[in-house]
Amino acid sequence: MSNSTTEISTPMSINDTTLTFINQTTLALLNLTDATSRIVVKDHPSPFGKCYTWEDAQHTVFQLANLCMAISFLTPSSFQYHVFFLRCLLLVGFVFFLLWAGLFVCMIDILVWNAIFVAVNLGHIGYLTYVNFPVKMHDQMEDIYSKLFRPLKMSRQEFALICKLGTMMTVPKGSIYAVEGISHIGDKVSILVKGKLKVTYGRFYLHHIEMNEFVDSPECDSAVPYVETDEKYQVTISASEESRILTWHYPTLQEYLDKDTYLATAFHYILGKDISHKLYQIQELLLSNPDYMRTLASRQSSMVNLRNSLVTQDSCLSLTKLNNIHMSGGLTIASVGAALKAKKAERQDTIETSV
């Protein structure tokens, strides 16, 4: 009985061992096949960089970041604040990339790079905000800007920067701004902010200077920048009432304007219009009063010599040109628009390229 039991148990042990061996061998072969297939793929990559496996779509934050990028690049350049808008969208996109890299994929290099991009765009947005932030001005300066500078498409920021170069001065009633034959030209140029000034030649009254008019535009026009001259004012300018003027040191102002051809062109057009207005005032005075200034040697020449800059050959605006301009309706926006449009477009292209 004992022997039969032993004979039955022995074959069962052999079968179990054989089955275990077969299972282990099969598993090893499967693992070897899988490993071999991976080695083959690794050793023989596609020459076109073909992906054999695709990851699932990334998180929604990643998709939002790319959407912001796409919208920013589609912003039309005709939009006035397109550079500012583009920078803001880029900032939002980089913030989304930052969150995606730090919270979902945990990739330090993407995290660091996008943190740098966020910092750069924050700085640039701060700069654009400072440059384009609305400038608050005194009501009188606002009036000057609206009447003289804004029609020539000069921005409030540009006007404010020009004003900062000047000094606001009070001229008491009866005070002298310039003395005929004594005061040198080319040192200063001023605009009347408040009050009224009187211009005289000898004992003859010529005209008044009202608010928003330049005080000495003819003398400024005749002055040669950066060149000292012995030329003097040919008229006396005094205050008929307490007045306020914005005065610039002319060489400093000219140096600033030389850095921007558009600003220089616009500023000199405004000066030219002011000269034309003053000349027209004198002409009206002579036409309405035929006997006025009869004691002068030549009334025709005196009309010119009253403001010495109008006879200098180096003057930017000759007497003939001024007369033609005034007879055609003055320096209107239409008459200067073509010249300023080209300079404005050229400068805008330069600014956008640098931004």
pLDDT digits (tens, 9 = 90+) for 21-37: 555 655 555 554 454 44
pLDDT digits (tens, 9 = 90+) for 321-339: 444 444 444 444 444 444 5
Task: Report which of residues 120 and 39 the model is more confident about.
Answer: 120
**C-beta separation of 325 from 331 below 8 A:** yes
Q: Going by C-beta distance under 8 Å and a sequence separation of 6 or more, which residues neighbour residue 68?
A: 89, 90, 92, 93, 96
What residue type is 297 in one-letter code?
Answer: A
Task: Kindly provide the b/e burial profile for residues 286-311, where b requires at least 16 CB atoms within 10 angstroms of the residue's own CB.
Answer: eeeeeeebeebeeeeebbebbbbbbb
Rounded Cα distance, 228 and 178, in Å: 18
pLDDT digits (tens, 9 = 90+) for 63-105: 999 999 999 888 888 877 788 889 999 999 999 999 999 999 9
The closest alpha carbon to 214, from 261, 266, 268, 274, belongs to 274
SS3 assignment, position 285: helix
Its pTM stands at 0.55
Q: Going by C-beta distance under 8 Å and a sequence separation of 6 or more, which residues neighbour residue 310?
A: 218, 222, 275, 279, 304, 318, 319, 322
